[in-house]
Amino acid sequence: MPAAATINDVSIPVPGARRLPAVLAMPARPRPAGVIVLHEAFGLNDDMRRIASRFAAAGYPTLAPDFLDGLGPKPICIARFLRMLDRPGTRPYRQLDIARAWLAANPEVTGGPIGVAGFCMGGGFAILYASLADVAVVAPFYAPFAEDTPIGGICPVVASYGGRDEVFGDHGERLAATLARAGVEHDVRTYPEAGHSFMSRHDGLSGFLGPRVPLRAAYSAEAADDAWARTLAFFERHLAA
């Protein structure tokens, strides 16, 4: 059984701006490598905390920043965040640079390698960021990916998609083909029985509407378990080693 993780809210200093709120999940026996979790459109909610704790239970000190903090009410903050992702050097990229340096400076990480895992819009951000920054491995889940997305310099990629997702379900094949042409090591899998957001457990209105919209968003235990196993095995090769 994986060891339990300790979950704490933290506040990361950002020069000339408000502090960046985040969750830090620390394993009982930390590895000298860290993971940053990039949240989906719902922001840094309890489900993203659960996912961060899952990486920490595998031994990785894990940081999950809240990139929507201070951008205004939803859905305005989501629209602002997505617009900024098209321009490297904007606020999300600066915040992630700071978060990466902060985690790397943690005494348990001691400058070790950093991996990034992103979900939905956070998955798209993870791909873009990993193409520009010093990241050892990246794990995008059901991430938007356009054929003209610049991926020069990207690290090894382990990605997971849901085949029932009518919006992003075919983006996995597109991502795999692009990585293959670039000669980048990758493991990209699409789960035919799963829809969007199959790693997450959503309650309330989002849980009711998710399976009924084109995304077919719903938790899938079978797909989630296999995606976790593949992701952690890939991280073991490229991050823990």
Q: Dump pLDDT digits (tens) for 96-108.
A: 999 999 999 999 9
Domain 5-240 has CATH 3.40.50.1820: yes
pTM: 0.93
What percentage of the chain's residues is helix, strand, coil (to nearest 5)?
A: 35, 20, 45
- Say yes or no to pLDDT of 206 above 80: no
The pLDDT > 70 percentage for the chain reads: 95
Residue with tokens 């050097």: 89
Mean pLDDT lowest among 19-33, 72-86, 207-221:
72-86
The mean pLDDT value for 76-82 works out to: 79
Per-residue pLDDT band at 8 (split at 50, 70, 90)? very high
CA–CA distance, 232 with 237 (Å, rounded to integer): 9
Question: pLDDT per residue over 100-142, tens digit each?
Answer: 999 999 999 988 999 999 999 999 999 999 999 999 999 999 9
Under 8 Å CB-to-CB from 169, ≥6 apart: which residues? 161, 162, 163, 190, 195, 196
Sheet bearing 34-38, strands edge to edge = 5-12, 20-27, 62-65, 34-38, 114-119, 137-141, 157-162, 186-191
Is residue 77 over pLDDT 90? no
Cα separation, 34 vs 131, in Å, equals: 18
Confidence of residue 1 (pLDDT cuts 50, 70, 90): very low
Task: Give the tokens for residue 48.
Answer: 């993203």
